[in-house]
Structure 1
């Protein structure tokens, strides 16, 4: 495990956002968060067809020779002491959650899907929404128009990464992997629940020159009234032992109830947590982090190529939607593209049971 990330300064409490060291007045979270409109990644007709497919098909969890079944090593590495460490610290590192051969096949598949014209445009428009708001994003009809809106921001390092959301809605192969027995086994074991639902997946592309990723917790961006939320983060490209751009975690932050209850949003949280990160990662290595665990990522060194990672998030089956108008409250969040397509079809406070948040087959 590499030493704590000493160049990070923890600074936002109530909103669960923290940021690397810089004058407090310049923190990006102080900017107005733009509305994301109805950015759903797919036309409504295609979403409906995909929902019907998820609901009616029997998932095989195999794709192009890649079968992510539960292995003996998965059962061996999910011992009670490992689960206790996750419960206590809020994250857990798992070398070779998928083998190097599986990682190569997975990376190839994800690159093929994300590089489609449809996915590229969706990722660019999403970044324009985040930076400029949905009104301006709606005027961007093609990739060239989006890139023009982002050019100055990229030059100043104000774009942290590009997100290719919910590739499982574009590709049956990606969906089968995201809902595979191996991933659902780990998610259910770490959360201590019988079954889980797939909430979202995203490929993160962080290029040299992109800014650092803000400290944040995933559940702060999601519309669920639950603590049972876990994200699996796969390295698709190597992360160096030192100076890389893997995730950095604030240990135990997911258990810090006092932070959001008593905390001042402008309080400097330096020293409140021990901050650490796994060591170097190779493709196929993964980390798991709890939905409330604060995490961030550094810049990619200029000498390296783009860093690619794939994150898959699960909630416990039976989790409920936030009661008080969650759509209006969260519509300005960056992850709104993952729930805008279904949130108005689930009553506030009700159990989330929707084909776009599919129940994953039970893994034994």
Structure 2
């Protein structure tokens, strides 16, 4: 789609989503929150076709579901759609979402780390327990992911399951998303008797936000319809890059912070400033 098509939508996603003090406090205490209708039905109807089209084009040649590993069965994962399609960029770079992220974290400004489409196909497997930030070479705990369905998500699929206050513990396990991470972290959660929260059915445009260290997982998809979800990862402006301590973080440093050296500001053309207070 052309840039002209991208700009023809007019003032879409420009209005603010007003958070209450109670919502901000709840997020900071628990490490996750559900916000209903962060994008309305009309807004989703404008962007969903472009996101779906971009995912389908990028996923051509993907192995059949039964031939993938546990991670691959969990979802079709396509990153940085905003660089592939100017219409999708209008959605991903929206000030409204970035402002929510900044206010929930209590920071003045946020940059984008990257976006991800996570499409869980019919018969798609569960997403194992994990912490996102074991992948990110970011020297901060001020990181957050917006997880927004583009289609209604019924109860039998549900949103992700979060562990209350788990973000306050920081790093828990080095295991990447896998059967092993699921076993290790499930045992950790059960031994400590930690509180789990699952928000159930969601409408298109509802959104959960969770911290980078928050433990979370998601069920498989027993329905005949693809669970279409778009995510955007944000971090506090002024964050510096960490010295990578794993291959996953080395790969992420190269992919999402190209040219940045450890100790330098985590800011490249792939990480524009999306919101700044005032």
TM range (shorter): 0.7 to 0.9
For 1:17, the equivalent position in structure 2 comes to none
2:121 is matched with 207
Quick check: 1:63–1:177 contact (8 Å CA) kept in 2? Answer: no
Superposition deviation, residue 363 in structure 1 = 6.2
Q: 2:221 aligns with which of 294, 300, 305?
A: 300
| Cα distance, 1:168–1:63 mapped onto 2, change above 3 Å | farther
Count of matched residue positions in the alignment of Structure 1 and Structure 2: 262
2:204 is paired with a residue of what secondary structure? coil
- Asked whether the equivalents of residues 229 and 290 of structure 1 are also in contact (C-alpha less than 8 Å), the reply is yes
**Corresponding residue for 2:83?**
169
Which one has the bigger strand percentage? 2
Task: Provide TM-score, normalisation by structure 2.
Answer: 0.84
Alpha-carbon deviation of 1:298?
Answer: 0.2
Aligned ranges 1:1-364 → 2 under 5 Å: 64-65=9-10, 67-71=12-16, 74-75=17-18, 78-116=19-57, 119-121=58-60, 143=61, 146-147=62-63, 151-153=66-68, 159-241=73-155, 243-257=156-170, 259=172, 266=184, 268-269=187-188, 270-272=190-192, 273-301=194-222, 303-322=223-242, 324-325=243-244, 328=247, 330-331=249-250, 336=252, 339-341=253-255, 343=257, 345-362=259-276
Aligned to 1:136: none
Aligned counterpart, 1:20: none
Paired residues of 1:197 and 1:357 also in contact (CA < 8 A)? yes
Please report the RMSD computed on the Cα atoms of aligned residues, expressed in angstroms.
2.7
* TM-superposed deviation, 1:207: 1.3
Distance in 2, Cα, partners of 1:313 & 1:175: 14
Assess, with a 3 A threshold, how the Cα gap between structure 1 residues 103 and 82 changes in structure 2: closer, same or farther: same
C-alpha contact (below 8 Å) 1:104/1:283 kept by paired residues: no
TM-score by length of 1: 0.66
Distance 2:171 2:112 in 1: 29
Report Cα offsets for 1:96-129 as digits up to 9, x if no partner: 111111111121121122222xx124xxxxxxxx
Residues 298-351 of structure 1 deviation map (CA, whole Å, 9 limit, x = unaligned): 0111x43111100011111001100x345845246xxx4xx4345451121111
- C-alpha displacement at 1:147, in angstroms? 2.3
CA deviation map 1:27-59 (0-9, x unaligned): xxxxxxxxxxxxxxxxxxxxxxxxxxxxxxxxx
Question: What is the CA–CA distance in structure 2 between the aligned matches of 1:280 and 1:62, rounded to whole Å?
Answer: 32
Distance 1:164 1:158 in 2: 12
Larger Rg: 1
Unmatched 5+ stretches in structure 1: 1-60, 122-142
* Over 6 Å off, 4+ runs: none
Structure 2: distance between partners of 1:213 and 1:250? 14
In structure 2, distance between residues paired with 1:215 and 1:63:
41
Residues 253-282 of structure 1 show CA distances to partners (whole Å, capped at 9, x for unaligned) of 101248469xxx957221521111113101
Contact 1:249 1:294 in 2 (8 A): yes
For 1:45, the equivalent position in structure 2 comes to none
Paired with 2:132 and 2:239, the residues of 1 have a C-alpha distance of 15
Distance apart, 1:252 and its partner CA: 0.8
After superposition, the Cα gap between the structure-2 partners of 1:251 and 1:346, relative to the gap in structure 1 and judged at 3 Å, is same
Counterpart CA distance in 2 for 1:275 and 1:325 is 31
